[in-house]
Amino acid sequence: MAASSPLPWMLINLLFACLAIGIGFVAGAFFFGGKKRPGDDDQGNAQEVALEKRLALERALLATGQLHDIATGVASDVGKHSRCVEQISRDLRAAEDAHGVVDQSIVTTALTRIVSANDMLQKKLEKAEKQIKAQAAEIAIHESEARTDSLTSLANRRAFDDELKRRFAEWERKQTPFCLVILDVDHFKNFNDTHGHQAGDEVLKRVAAAMRKSTRTMDIPCRYGGEEFAIVLPATSLHDAMALSERVRTEIEGGVLEHEGKNLKVTASIGVAQISQGDDAKRILRRADDALYISKDEGRNRGYVNIEGECYAVLDRMAQEKEKKEKAAEKPAVGHLLDQLPSRTVFVNQLMQRVAESQRSGTPLSVLVVGLDGAGEIQANYGENASRCLLDSVAQFLISTLREMDTVCMLAADRFGVLLPNTTAADAEVIARRANSALSLCAVPVGDQNLTLDARFTYTTVQELETATQLLSRAESALADVTDQDEPLLV
């Protein structure tokens, strides 16, 4: 007879792999649960941490034991099935006559026994599969609970530490900026002593709710320890981080807790920092903490931001930035538009943020590169002033065809770059054709001549795991491959 199918044995291997995962989870629960956390020095916190560790370990051991029982049971069932099939095979060989022929009735009986054995094994395997899925879901729940604060349902300190390390690693690899917000509930110990721990717990829940309401989907709000909270802000400028921290602070300040016939309110002090050169995960945390303590020293219910070691009031800093923007808007435009465009370095930094956001959220992102033929010859023949006037006109024509959210930069003396957020390749092609039509009309009179430049267009979208530098390099390198100036090239 043919050998039995290897499928049951593959299932057994899968079962024991699940068992190994369960054992790994137990080891992780033991290792991480045994780590001492900052802020757990007081006896109450130490007892709570020890209890959480013991419960997590007991749950993980129970789940692992159940997986072991399932694997052992299936191994036994497959063994019985194998022995049954082997016995049927022996019976058939024993029933052969001198010519090797077996009576048809004996064969029919053997096939019936095999079908019955297979059906029985199939039912047991289906039952085991359901049990495995249930145990896998239970282990996933335990793992989630190990990274979630039980009171507020925010990410806990362990999840915060992991996220901070992940963002710092991304900063080291791609220079993707991120910010950190630390906040502390003001006079929380006095509040607890006055109104009781039940009211204190409710306050912590309200603070967590205010954080969730005021943050974005990509942000990671955490309960850092006790009455201290933190928010990791991926791919975020310092200006946006300050604005978000102020939203959180005012949301907490405006909340009212009704407790035993009283309307209770709390406030929070906040520290903000952005990753910078020379920082590591510990240093940015320390800088945010320094800003937090300045907020407390200055009267609480306020935020301070740490910029290269110096702390400034968040509201003052935001007011100064607003004033600068308003003054800049009031100034009459002087000089060339080229002077107002972002530099290549600034453009690449903006592109880094957009690439990180696109790869994290899946939003489309495109880049358009415009190459100008003859720019060098015009400068050589007509002088720098004529060349800059012509390039300035090109920039104006180009910008007139774009949207407000698009960003134009002069990448080189004969090249412009355009950042197109939330733009698919098809939409980028439409924009490229529109810009090409506009630039065909661009001319600058010099004497009795009209100076013009021929433009070539390439456009592309960000690919998975691609960096901003790689994306821009692809688009620029492809300019040499453009053969028809009327046809933008997709790369």
Domain assignment of residue 2, yes or no: no
Average pLDDT over residues 247-269: 91
Q: What is the pLDDT at residue 421?
A: 93
Our count of domains for the chain comes to: 3
- Which residue from 172, 201, 344, 178 is spatially nearest to 274, judged by alpha carbons? 178
Residues 6+ apart with CB under 8 A from 471: 351, 355, 367, 460, 462, 463
Residue 307 phi/psi, 5-degree rounding, is -120, 105
Domain assignment of residue 98, yes or no: yes
- Which residue from 206, 219, 213, 294 is spatially nearest to 248, judged by alpha carbons? 213
More confident residue, 307 or 26: 307
The domain in which residue 42 lies consists of 7-146
* Single residue among 327, 352, 375 that ends a domain in this structure: 327
Same domain membership, residue 101 and residue 199: no
- Which residue from 186, 211, 180 is spatially nearest to 269, judged by alpha carbons? 186
Domain assignment of residue 210, yes or no: yes
**pLDDT, tens digit, for every residue of 409-420?**
989 888 999 999
| Burial (Cβ within 10 Å: 0-12, 13-18, ≥19) of residue 358 | buried
* Single residue among 117, 146, 175 that ends a domain in this structure: 146
More confident residue, 294 or 145: 294
Same domain membership, residue 184 and residue 124: no
Average pLDDT over residues 391-420: 89
Same domain membership, residue 141 and residue 64: yes
Same domain membership, residue 368 and residue 480: yes
Same domain membership, residue 58 and residue 88: yes
Domain assignment of residue 332, yes or no: no
**pLDDT, tens digit, for every residue of 122-176?**
887 787 777 777 666 665 555 555 788 889 999 999 899 999 999 999 999 888 8
| Burial (Cβ within 10 Å: 0-12, 13-18, ≥19) of residue 286 | middle
For residue 265, what is the DSSP state?
-
Q: Which of 107-116, 162-171, 287-296, 340-349 has the highest mean pLDDT?
A: 287-296
pLDDT at 37 over 90: no
Same domain membership, residue 287 and residue 186: yes
Same domain membership, residue 125 and residue 189: no
Tokens 């456009």 found at: 459
More confident residue, 147 or 191: 191
Domain assignment of residue 65, yes or no: yes
Same domain membership, residue 294 and residue 253: yes
Domain assignment of residue 474, yes or no: yes
What's the mean pLDDT when you consider all of the chain?
82
Same domain membership, residue 192 and residue 111: no
Same domain membership, residue 485 and residue 443: yes
* 485 SS3 class: coil
Please report which confidence band the pLDDT of residue 296 belongs to, taking 50, 70 and 90 as the band edges. very high
Q: What is the pLDDT at residue 154?
A: 94
- Which residue from 142, 157, 180 is spatially nearest to 36, judged by alpha carbons? 157
Q: What is the pLDDT at residue 385?
A: 82
415 forms bridges with which residues in the sheet?
371, 412
* Single residue among 301, 327, 353 that ends a domain in this structure: 327
Q: What CATH number is given to the structural domain containing 369?
A: 3.30.70.270
Spatial distance between the Cα atoms of 472 and 179, rounded to a whole number of angstroms: 25
The proportion of the chain whose per-residue pLDDT surpasses 70, expressed as a percent, equals: 81
Same domain membership, residue 228 and residue 183: yes
Domain assignment of residue 151, yes or no: no
Q: What is the pLDDT at residue 59?
A: 62
Domain assignment of residue 285, yes or no: yes
Q: What is the pLDDT at residue 49?
A: 53
Please report which confidence band the pLDDT of residue 5 belongs to, taking 50, 70 and 90 as the band edges. very low
Spatial distance between the Cα atoms of 458 and 475, rounded to a whole number of angstroms: 6
Q: What is the pLDDT at residue 378?
A: 79
**pLDDT, tens digit, for every residue of 434-472?**
888 888 888 777 666 777 788 889 999 999 888 999 999
Tokens 């974005």 found at: 216
Spatial distance between the Cα atoms of 22 and 20, rounded to a whole number of angstroms: 5
Q: What is the pLDDT at residue 95?
A: 76
Q: Do 238 and 307 touch, CB atoms closer than 8 A?
A: yes
Segment 11-14 long-range contacts (CB within 8 Å, at least 24 positions apart)? 11/74, 11/78, 11/125, 11/128, 12/71, 12/74, 12/75, 12/78, 14/132
Of 51-55, 72-76, 154-158, 243-247, minimum mean pLDDT range: 51-55
Same domain membership, residue 209 and residue 353: no
Q: What is the pLDDT at residue 57?
A: 62
Q: What is the pLDDT at residue 100?
A: 72
pLDDT at 45 over 80: no
